[in-house]
Structure formats: structure tokens, C-alpha cells
Chain A
Amino acid sequence: MAEAVVEVHNLSKRFGTFTAVDGISFEIQQGEILGLLGPNGAGKTTTIHMLLGMITPTSGTIRIFGLPFDDHREEILSQVNFSSTYVSLPQALTVEENLWVVAKLYGLDRVSSRIDQIIKRLEMEEFRTKITRRLSSGQMTRLTLAKAFLTEPKVLFLDEPTGSLDPDIAEKTRALIKEMRRSSGLSVLYTSHNMREMEEMSDRIIFLSRGKIIAEGSATAIKSRFGETELEEVFLKLARGGAPFHR
């Protein structure tokens, strides 16, 4: 049986009277891709922020690699990375310079060869010396993905990672994630509003609504339980207040 690299138990986050995340528990196994689905404001991004230590939970526990997050922040974050459409990189630096800074921040060795490798994999050669401010949104997304992959993390949090990519690069990005999972046992928490992508990528899906887990299982199991042929139909049903899926 695979080992759980991320263990979340009874995690909650309240901002004043508003509850963003409400007592959720889940695990991500080594080499597993877990999809996090839900409408806007469901608590997906807040969950990822708590897993990255950017927001302190109100209650509950987070263990990554078997270690409590609060006591082992530095050790954990050196093996974790993320990519989000809501986060950018310094605009005045070139693509290469930004990757250099990230590599130094994580204390990586063989920096040049790692950068060359990731630039080649994500087909960024033509804009590697370009100033970040001048990148198109698709190129910017590739840069933030390159930043995430560069550190060869064991756990990756991807918040709508292919949102602004063309189908070709999006497909190559998904292939890269899958290959990293195969070669290094990478575990991924993945959010996307692209249901086909979610179905293709995820071994298991968690559906969040108003901060609570209301459905969990493989895409096939969830579709079958709700009597739908498309995940999108399930999404609409659940997001509009359909009956929760009881495990």
C-alpha cells in the first residue's frame, strides 16, 4: 500500500464569522494525483494556502511526509512547490534570472543544467532571455510551472495550472506531470475548472462546496453515483446544491 505523504485532519479556517474551510480531512498518497473540485469560493485555494503555510488554520492538523507542518516548515517546504495563476514572478527579471533566484532560494545544485533541462521540457528556449514583464499569459504560466518543476518537489500543489495555456502546451504540461509522477513518485494536488482535464489527470477527486467535502472518489465512481456520464454534469448538480455523495 502506498504511503500517505499529505495527511489533513479536520482542517478548518474561519475569517471572522465566515467559514472558508470546514473540518475537511483527506490524504494524498505517494505518486497520487488528487483533484480538488468545487465552485468559486468553495475553499480550494484557502486549503492550498494552508498546505503551503501561507494561512494558519483555525483548527485541525496538517502532516506532510509524516511531519507536523508547524514544527517542520522549512524541511517540508524544501520538498514542496506550487504553481498558481494568481501568483507571478518578478517582472523586471528575465525568465532565466527568475529561475536562478528560485534555484538559489531552494539551495539547488547543478543550477545551470537543471534550468536548461526544464526550459527544454517546457519549450521555453525562445523566451528564456526575455524580461518577464513582456511574456504573454501563456508564457508566464509556463514560467510559473517551470519554477515549480525546477526544484524537483515530492509534492506539488497546482492551482489551475493550465488555465491560460494553448491545448498543445497544456497537453505537454500534463504529460510532464504524469512523467514526474512515474519517475519520482511525485504527489500532486490539482485544481482546475476544466472537467476533462480533471478526469484525465486525477486518480481521485474531492469535491468541495462551502468549505466542506461533499463528494469523494474516482471520477468514474462519482459519475456513476450521480447517474451522469460527464463530470461537468456532476459539478453542476453538486454546485447547485444536489445531494452529497456519502462514502
Chain B
Amino acid sequence: MKFHRIAALLSRHLYLYRRSFPRVLEIIYWPFVDLVIWGFITVYLEQYKGSLPSFVTFFLGALILWDILFRAQQGITISFLEEIWSRNLMNLFASPLKPSEFLAATMLLSVAKVLAVSCVTVVAALLFYSFNVFVLGLSLVPFMLNLIVAGWCIGVLTTGLIMRYGQEVEVLAWGLVFLFQPISCVFYPLRVLPQWLQTIAWMNPAAHIFEGMRAVITTGKFPLHELAWASGLNALYLAALVLWFHMMFATCKEKGLLVRVGE
């Protein structure tokens, strides 16, 4: 074993970190996100340990539903990355294809992925934990649709950033969505958060969806106002982000980035 060869490889990777802010950020990012999420879960369990209803339903249901949002985002972003990896972007965008058509196709693809992954997680939860996600009833459908749209919003944002800043920020495809997890209140209620963070979380459609789901479990009533907030915010964000994506696309063409994004 030769140390100089090991050192050479170490240098090869350290060079990347020296010049790449996103890579440095990643080192701090995951521990930070984990700490925030599990910290709030601990606070929740501490405060409400005696009165936690339907414990399994809360956590497994939340996990399955979070996965829907995650897969919807991945459906868009990974599709774009696939085109970069196979140096296929020019074949697409030098054809009559419009950016809006590209987004529409990736959104449909994400729905297919969500359906496939949901089947697996729903069946696995049923087999291993005897948990049936459909105990949540028909209220699940509008909330699931909203989770998909929330995933699309993060997917469009991530894709636009990768298109603009190149493969340097490729890690965002897996990481950015988790920035929204602490303020989505997936595993704990909104009231667990500090007041200032509650205000931010309130602007996140996913937080209204998970709050709504918890309300269904605890009260058995359908929280129409949460659904209305989630749908309204989703519609607003999706429209704004699609517009922003088109602006990014134009900027990339202006700067010649679209033909260099895979390099």
C-alpha cells in the first residue's frame, strides 16, 4: 500500500471541497437537519407523552406521506439530472419541446413514481406493522394530491437551481427537500415549534397538510380550512415557481449555461 496514492486520491476529493461551497454546506447540513427534526420530536414526546393518541398512525402515516412529497420532488429533479448525465439536454431543448412541456412531462412522471413507491410503502407498513394508511379515510386523497403539488414546487425550485448553477449544486436534488422537513411538521404538531418558526411554517403548504392529517386522526373531522390553506399556497407557489423556472431558462440561454450544464 502506497501512501502517496492514497494522498493523491484524498487531494482529488479535498480539491472539490476547497472550491465548492455546496459540498462544504452538505457537511453541516445533514447533521443540522437531523438535530432540528429529532429535537422537535423529542420536545413533542416530552410534552405529550401521556396523551399521545394513535402513536403508530401518527408516525408511520407521517413517514408514508412525507415519502409522497419527497418522491414527487425527485420525479422532477432526477429526470432533469438524467438528461444532464446522458448529455441529452440539447437534443431536448433544440427540438420543438418547450420548457413548460418538459416540466409537465416530469410532473406526470413524478405521479407515476409516487404511485409505485406508495404501493410499496403502504403494503410494507401493513405487513410489518399491521398499519393501514387508509384508516385516514377519504380525506387522504385531497391531502395526498396537495403533497404531490408541494413536491412539484420543491422539484421545480431544485431543477431551476441545478440548471442555473450546474452540477456543482447537484446535491440539492437530494438535500433541499429536507430543508423543508422541520417546517413541514411531519412528525410533530406546529405548536411544538418556537413562535417565529411557526410563522414560517405556516407559509409552508406541507405544514397545513400534516396538521390536517393529525386533525383527522385525533378529532375524526375533516379540517377544510387546512386543506384550503394548503391548496391556496400550493397554487400560488407553483405558479410563481413555474414563472421563475422560465426566467431561469432564459438566463441560462443568455449565459450559454444550457449547453454547458453537463460539463
Query: A54–B88 contact, CB under 8 A?
Result: no
Question: Which among B89-97, B145-153, B183-191, B233-241 touches the partner chain?
Answer: B89-97
| A25 to B5 CA separation, bound complex (whole angstroms) | 53
Q: Mark A81-109, 1 if CB is under 8 A from B, else 0.
A: 01010111111100000000010011100
Max chain A Cβ within 10 angstroms of own Cβ: one of B91, B250, B259? B91
Which of A15, A77, A92 has a CB less than 8 Å from the CB of B96?
Answer: A77
Given contacts A105-B96, A105-B97, contact A54 B259 (CB under 8 A): yes
Given contacts A54-B253, A56-B253, contact A102 B91 (CB under 8 A): yes
| A46 to B255 CA separation, bound complex (whole angstroms) | 11
| B258 interface residue per 8 A CB criterion | yes
Q: Which residue of A lies closest to B83 (CB)?
A: A90
Which bucket holds chain B's interface residue count?
A: 20 to 34
Which of B85, B87, B96 has a CB less than 8 Å from the CB of A87?
Answer: B87
| A118 interface residue per 8 A CB criterion | no
**What A residues does B258 contact at CB under 8 A?**
54-55
* Distance in Å: Cβ of A193 to nearest Cβ of chain B: 20
Which of A46, A49, A56, A102 has a CB less than 8 Å from the CB of B254?
Answer: A56
| B137 interface residue per 8 A CB criterion | no
Which bucket holds chain A's interface residue count?
A: 20 to 34
Question: Which residues of chain B from 63 to 111 have a CB within 8 Å of any chain A CB?
Answer: 82-83, 85-88, 90-98
* Distance in Å: Cβ of A118 to nearest Cβ of chain B: 16
Max chain A Cβ within 10 angstroms of own Cβ: one of B83, B96, B253? B96
**What B residues does A73 contact at CB under 8 A?**
96
Query: A77–B86 contact, CB under 8 A?
Result: no
| B256 interface residue per 8 A CB criterion | yes
Query: B96–A52 contact, CB under 8 A?
Result: no
**What A residues does B95 contact at CB under 8 A?**
77-78, 102, 105-106
Query: A15–B256 contact, CB under 8 A?
Result: yes
Query: A52–B250 contact, CB under 8 A?
Result: no
**What B residues does A91 contact at CB under 8 A?**
85-86
Query: A49–B250 contact, CB under 8 A?
Result: no
Query: B90–A78 contact, CB under 8 A?
Result: no
Q: Which residue of A lies closest to B98 (CB)?
A: A74
**What B residues does A105 contact at CB under 8 A?**
92, 95-97
Which of A15, A87, A147 has a CB less than 8 Å from the CB of B255?
Answer: A15
| A22 to B81 CA separation, bound complex (whole angstroms) | 33
Query: A88–B87 contact, CB under 8 A?
Result: yes
Q: Mark A27-64, 1 if CB is under 8 A from B, else 0.
A: 00000000000000000001001001111100000000
Q: Which residue of A lies closest to B93 (CB)?
A: A54
Q: Which residue of A lies closest to B82 (CB)?
A: A90
* Distance in Å: Cβ of B88 to nearest Cβ of chain A: 5
Question: Which residues of chain A from 124 to 155 have a CB within 8 Å of any chain B CB?
Answer: 147
Question: Which residues of chain B from 167 to 192 have a CB within 8 Å of any chain A CB?
Answer: none
Query: B86–A89 contact, CB under 8 A?
Result: yes
| A49 to B44 CA separation, bound complex (whole angstroms) | 56
Q: Mark A210-221, 1 if CB is under 8 A from B, else 0.
A: 000000000000
Query: A49–B88 contact, CB under 8 A?
Result: no
| A125 to B125 CA separation, bound complex (whole angstroms) | 48
Query: B96–A49 contact, CB under 8 A?
Result: no
* Distance in Å: Cβ of A109 to nearest Cβ of chain B: 15
| A46 to B257 CA separation, bound complex (whole angstroms) | 12
* Distance in Å: Cβ of B164 to nearest Cβ of chain A: 15
Max chain A Cβ within 10 angstroms of own Cβ: one of B86, B92, B95, B253? B95
**What are the 3 A-B residue pairs with the smallest beta carbon separation, nearest first?**
A52-B94, A88-B87, A56-B253
Binding site for A on B (CB under 8 A): 82-83, 85-88, 90-98, 250, 253-256, 258-259
Binding site for B on A (CB under 8 A): 13, 15, 20, 46, 49, 52-56, 73-75, 77-78, 80, 82, 84, 86-92, 102, 105-107, 147
